[in-house]
Structure 1
Amino acid sequence: MKWLFAPVPLGRVAAFRTLIYLFVAADLVIFTPWVRHHASTPGDLYEPLLVGRLLHLPTPTPLLVHGIFWALLVLALAAATGRAPRLLGWTVFALYFEWMVIAMSYGKVDHDRVGLLVALAVLPTVGRARHGDPTRTESGGWALRVTQVAVVCTYFLAAWAKLRFGGLDWVTSSVLARAIVRRGTDLADLIAGVPYLLILAQVGIIAFELASPAIFFLKPRWRNYAVAFFYSFHVVTFATITISFAPHLAAITSFLALEKVRPVVWVRGFLARRRGEVESHERPVV
């Protein structure tokens, strides 16, 4: 319990909250704008996920899809300011949850949104948090920790699924080769030409995903290196087979000391320095 509720600065929670809600807004217009096309998709093609069936969620209509889009866009931007964290937070979670049910109920289900959905579910439980506030909070620590657990589970359970359905033969299969044929880049074509390199990459992927829980046992400095490796893994993935995992990358920031990143303070400092330089140049020489 001490590990699960390890306190963190409120400033870290505030920064993480702002980043997550800004990502939700960006996701609507950059990463998943295609979900709006389901507004005109025939209703008989809608096969809701299990959770959609259990909750008796309605079949998407133009009014429902477009209404969720615009409401979620406005409310996510409002939530990013930190105001009304519980009311706006729960509302954004509910709307984004429905947005994801609509997105994933017509075929393929992406697994890169688990961490983001968990973050949206737990952030409203923290309450108010100001940027730069060093006060430590156990509720904020819990919110970040369960998000971290969701991030690691995404990796570990991906490996479990590979071995469950593909067995050890997955490691020596042509999974990456097929992915490169379908959506590979020029860099991927170069890599594919190296004998046995794709097999070694698949061994590395399984090893990395199975070992991902080890990040919880690392000291802070080494944990940062591990997070950097997580990001580099996804950079290579995008550079070779153009899969971004953008929502997952946003959730990974729960491992970082985001309170140290204060762009507003940097901008104010930069403007103050520029103003001082201008005034010094304009000051008459005696």
Structure 2
Amino acid sequence: MTGWLTEAVPRGRIAAFRTLIYLFVAADLVVFTPWVRTRASVPGELYQPLLIGRLLPLPTPTPTVVAVIFWGLLLAALLAATGRAPRLLGWTVCALYLEWMIIAMSYGKVDHDRFGLLVALAVLPTAGRARHGDTTRTEAGGWALRVTQIAVICTYFLAAWAKLRFGGLDWLTGSVLARAIIRRGTDLADLIAQVPYLLIVAQFGIVAFELLSPVVFLIPARWRVAMVGFFYSFHVVTIATITISFAPHLAAMTSFLPLERVRPLVWARRLAGRGPVDAEPMSTPPDQARPDDRARSGDQAPVVGRPVGP
């Protein structure tokens, strides 16, 4: 079990995941949750903090408190995305974003799509330093990704558990999706709703999908990315029909992907034609270098099967 939790991954994957998550936090402030800043104008007596907000001596949101958190978090997230000072900036972003979410969710509505992202922010500072393209493997980074993956899958599984716990079997046969389409459905959703019993079948499918999501940890690695791709396709359909994005959850779910292969700066240099791009791994040991590389460095390796002498 310990080996599974700390399965080593390339440091380049940690660097890419770190950059993506912290850039998402910055985008979240200005694109997805800018409405949190309006909490500053809400009377303080309406602030009913979550349990963690009641346990910690957190201040009631005021214009000054909200502004300091917003600008401090935005700056810290952009700096953290560079990979510098991963622990200091990582813990800073984690603390500020947690407070940002406490403010957002302490007025009667709690979104479950933030769980995976919050866990990612809590564990990323423990992964240590990592550079883009670095192929050396790290168990600390592997643990950070695995814990995030578990949080992502728990989001699905516990959502199904909540549906059955509070809605019972009536959730499966009721009008849940029909009401969602009436409230915020698209033209595509209207077409789907006209097919008899299709929404009921979809509700059974949603719960089955969420309950079976832990299977992603049991299948071979070569199929895991395909299953995660199915997860993403589920959310594409959700956005296209009832306009619910689950963007923080989708960002955290990239912990399953081989992000070290995504090298936008390298691709940009290649497209710009700025000379040859070093495609070799940053940490290739000398004894694993190709023969032509050793020849260029003056260390010519013998070629197997090549005759010696005339």
Alignment-derived partner of residue 26 in structure 1: 27
Q: Which is higher, the Rg of structure 1 or of structure 2?
A: 2
Change (3 A) 1:274 1:9: closer
Alignment-derived partner of residue 55 in structure 1: 56
- Give me the whole-angstrom Cα distance separating, in 2, the residues matched to 1:36 and 1:274: 46
Q: Please list the CA deviations of residues 71-110 of structure 1 after superposition, one character each: whole Å capped at 9, or x if unmatched.
A: 1111100000000000000000000000000000011100
Deviation (angstroms), 1:168: 1.3
Alignment-derived partner of residue 90 in structure 1: 91
Alignment-derived partner of residue 131 in structure 2: 130
- Give me the whole-angstrom Cα distance separating, in 2, the residues matched to 1:16 and 1:250: 9
For 1:36, the aligned partner's letter is R
Q: Please list the CA deviations of residues 123-146 of structure 1 after superposition, one character each: whole Å capped at 9, or x if unmatched.
A: 000111000111100000000000
- Give me the whole-angstrom Cα distance separating, in 2, the residues matched to 1:261 and 1:224: 15
Aligned Cα root-mean-square deviation (Å): 1.0
For 1:227, the aligned partner's letter is V
For 2:169, the aligned partner's letter is L
Alignment-derived partner of residue 146 in structure 1: 147
Find runs of 4+ consecutive structure 1 residues off by over 6 angstroms. none
- Give me the whole-angstrom Cα distance separating, in 1, the residues matched to 2:130 and 2:160: 36
**Unaligned stretches of 5+ residues in structure 2:** 277-310
- Give me the whole-angstrom Cα distance separating, in 2, the residues matched to 1:24 and 1:220: 29
Deviation (angstroms), 1:273: 6.1
**Unaligned stretches of 5+ residues in structure 1:** 276-286
Deviation (angstroms), 1:274: 8.7
Q: Please list the CA deviations of residues 204-243 of structure 1 after superposition, one character each: whole Å capped at 9, or x if unmatched.
A: 0000000000000112221111111111000100111110
Mean CA deviation greater in 264-273 or 200-209? 264-273
Equivalent positions of 1:40-79 (< 5 A) are: 40-79=41-80
Deviation (angstroms), 1:30: 0.3
Deviation (angstroms), 1:169: 1.5
Alignment-derived partner of residue 161 in structure 2: 160
For 1:204, the aligned partner's letter is G
Alignment-derived partner of residue 281 in structure 1: none
Deviation (angstroms), 1:56: 2.4
- Give me the whole-angstrom Cα distance separating, in 2, the residues matched to 1:47 and 1:8: 41
Q: Larger % of helix: which?
A: 1
Change (3 A) 1:96 1:222: same
- Give me the whole-angstrom Cα distance separating, in 2, the residues matched to 1:49 and 1:182: 27
Alignment-derived partner of residue 180 in structure 2: 179
- Give me the whole-angstrom Cα distance separating, in 1, the residues matched to 2:222 and 2:5: 20
TM value normalised by structure 2: 0.87
Aligned residue pair count: 275
Alignment-derived partner of residue 110 in structure 1: 111
